[in-house]
Copies of this chain bind each other. A is one copy, B any other.
Amino acid sequence: MRAKLLPSADPVIRRFSALAPLTDDAFEALRRTARAQRVVAARREIYADGGRIAEPLIILAGWAYRSHILADGRRQILSFALPGDLIGFHHHANPAAASSVIALTELVLCPLPDSLAGGIAEAFAVSNALDGVHHLRHITRLGRMSAQERIADWLLETRDRLLLSGSTLGNSFPLPVTQEFMADTLGLTSVHVNRTLQSMRREGLISLRSGMIILHDPERLASAIDYRPARVMVA
């Protein structure tokens, strides 16, 4: 376990201001709420499937995942929540969680700012819409792509999302998921994920070790599967 720094509001501010123009007051409001941070251990459940969503939260650091478990134990991971992401945010009263949200890594969370003025409300709406778009893309991924395409497409999407909050390092980024998690995300088995990753390494597309991944040529990878970034607003 490495030394723990106090996470700043940086990823959040970067992401939200990329989603909507924010005023200085909005920046200040985000910085203020980020001070009210709480830490959640890995594997802790944040929202339970079917339970009431107590309170929306912002992720300052760490990854969470949303999942659904079938009666016989099969698990589907629906999405990941990354630094700067919003979870449990809804436009209607008494929202029930449609799935569990669980901390994948240790998580640093903070509540929503008191005021959503200055563009924050718009950023939240866009963030929500982006989540929706990612869900739709995941449907296409699962329904109509091969194992290698699913992995490549998901890696590129994850990279784009991390770029938004400045959480990448050149062509590499943290990937704190086991092959088992990847399998449950992409509708495969961990054995097949393993073999597919190996073949992608052999082809020189990726390198993967100790929780970090390198995409050696994201553009080539993207054009190979005709990947294009998600968009929720007309240019």
Contact = CB atoms under 8 A, between A and B. Distances in A.
A90 interface: yes
Interface string A180-217: 00001111000000000000000000000000000000
Given A52-B234, A71-B226, A135-B139, A144 B76 contact: yes
B139 A91 contact: no
Interface stretch (A9-17, A27-35, A121-129): A121-129
A233 interface: yes
A99 B144 CA distance: 15
A6 interface: no
* Count of chain copies: 2
Contact of A132 (B70, B71, B132, B185): B132
Q: Chain A: interface residue count, which band?
A: 35 or more
Interface string A90-126: 1111111011000000000000000000000010011
Interface of A: 50-52, 66, 68, 70-71, 74-76, 78, 90-96, 98-99, 122, 125-126, 128-129, 132-133, 135-140, 142-145, 184-187, 226, 230-234
16 contacts: A52-B234, A70-B140, A71-B226, A78-B139, A90-B125, A90-B129, A93-B122, A96-B231, A96-B232, A96-B234, A98-B136, A135-B139, A142-B143, A142-B187, A143-B186, A143-B187
